[in-house]
Structure 1
Amino acid sequence: MYLIAFDLEGTLVKSKSSWVELHKRFGTWDKGEEYAERFFKGEFDYATWAKLDASLWRGKSRKEIMEWVESVEYFEGVKELFEFLKRNKFKIAIISGGLKCLAERIGKELKADFVYANELLFDEEEKVTGDVLSWVDFRNKGDILLELKEKLKPKLTVAVGDGHNDIAMFKVADVSIAINPHEGVEGDYLAKDLYEVKEIIEKILKESGQ
């Protein structure tokens, strides 16, 4: 059995960031951008940042959030890649710093084995409360992957992502694949699309005689 962990946004789907896209959808990006700048200056931690962001959407309905979730499109090659992974005995994890509502939709459709992301909370009227369960921050993707690796004891662990918060996963994985990465993000392999990710994994399995 093998293990592979994927980032979600910018890797499997065309959304760049749940947070940014909802800010733009709801007209709250000016304040959202200010909070992002303050977080990266070290003024507060990730959990505080997430709650500040979500507080700007307080009162928005689950329906409004899900309309955006359902609009997010896949990158080409994702279904072929996941079918290949399933045929080759991979356990598949999606580890996203975005929102669980999107990650769960994608995980269910692609039949991923594990899904980790941040959860917006809703009240009894299905309105955003402004609270967030921050399961995945900018630093702990590697911790999540390490926990899975220790639990499953796979023959091979692969990580695929595009952003700086994916580097922590890359350090834990046996093999890392950077797909259209942000500047300064490097993996053992570089891929331009998901078809190329599939080719790289095929090559790795063949070379290792697995």
Structure 2
Amino acid sequence: MKGLIAFDLEGTLTDMISWEILHEKFGTCDKARVHTSLFLSGKITYHEWAEMDVRLWKGRRREEVEEAFSQVTLKPYARELFEWLKKNNFKTAIISGGLMCLARKVGEKLGVDFIVANELKFDSQGRIEGVIVRVTFDNKGEILRQLKQKVNPNVTIAVGDWKNDKSMFEEADISISLGDIDGDYKARDLRDVLEILKSIVRNI
């Protein structure tokens, strides 16, 4: 059996929230809350939300961003879970509306096969100048579909914790919820996710 499993990142594999970390570092939390309110009320698109947030950081140095993510922490049992997935012939993916500077660090720690996230753009002097938006509020399912075409798995599983994971859950054969979203299975933590996966594999 060949499997593909896609994870949300923030709140699922780590408690770190990349956008919040940089807003706190650069002192832009108040303006960011205004942008969030505009998006949630439907007054701006996701792309506009991301661009407006990153505009607050324009000119900040790459080194400052790297410093903010120098100490990346994982949720308990993340390493054990990914070790088991590799032993059981699963390709792994992170699909995150967060920033690549965090997603890449987590991916390196866990040996993730595919990482799709939003990415800061830097100019020739290494200063923030914009953002590449790859993951929006509702396109995770489309991204998972593209990964399925590449991997051609026997089974596709999605793991997430919030309503922006809904399209990913709909695209997967099996969904596991770690939060406020309905899934085929409900897990309290990544240890639960591992036990659920063991049961699924036994019954395939």
TM class by smaller structure: over 0.9
Q: Does 1:190 align with 2:186?
A: yes
Counterpart code for 1:49: W
Aligned to 1:109: 109
Which residue does the alignment assign to 2:196? 200
Unmatched segments (≥5 aa) in structure 2: none
Deviations 1:23-75 (A, max 9, x none): 12211011000001101112221111111000101121111111121223101
C-alpha distance in 1 between matches for 2:168 and 2:75: 21
Counterpart of 1:127 in structure 2 is 127
Partner of residue 136, structure 1: 135
For residue 70 of structure 1, give the secondary structure of its aligned residue in structure 2. coil
The separation in 2 between residues aligned to 1:122 and 1:150, in whole angstroms, is 32
* 1:106 partner letter: V
Q: Amino acid of the residue matched to residue 151 of structure 2?
A: L
How high is the sequence identity, in percent, across the aligned residues? 47
Q: Give the TM-score taking structure 2 as reference length.
A: 0.96
Per the normalisation by structure 1, the TM-score is 0.94
Structure 1 runs of 4+ aligned residues shifted over 4 Å read none
1:161 paired to 2:160 = yes
Moved more, 84-93 or 23-32: 23-32
Letter in 2 for 1:143: E
Q: Name the counterpart of 1:175.
A: 174
| Residues in 2 aligned to 1:152 and 1:18: alpha-carbon distance in whole angstroms | 28
How many residues are treated as equivalent by the alignment? 203
Deviation for aligned residue 1:8:
0.5
Shift of 1:119: 0.6
Q: Is the Cα contact below 8 Å between 1:14 and 1:72 reproduced in 2?
A: no
**Distance of 2:158 and 2:70 partners within structure 1:** 26
How far, CA to CA, are the matches of 1:29 and 1:65 in structure 2? 16
Q: Distance in 2 between matches of 1:206 and 1:54?
A: 46
User: Equivalent residue for 1:37?
Assistant: 37
Distance 1:42 1:136 in 2: 18
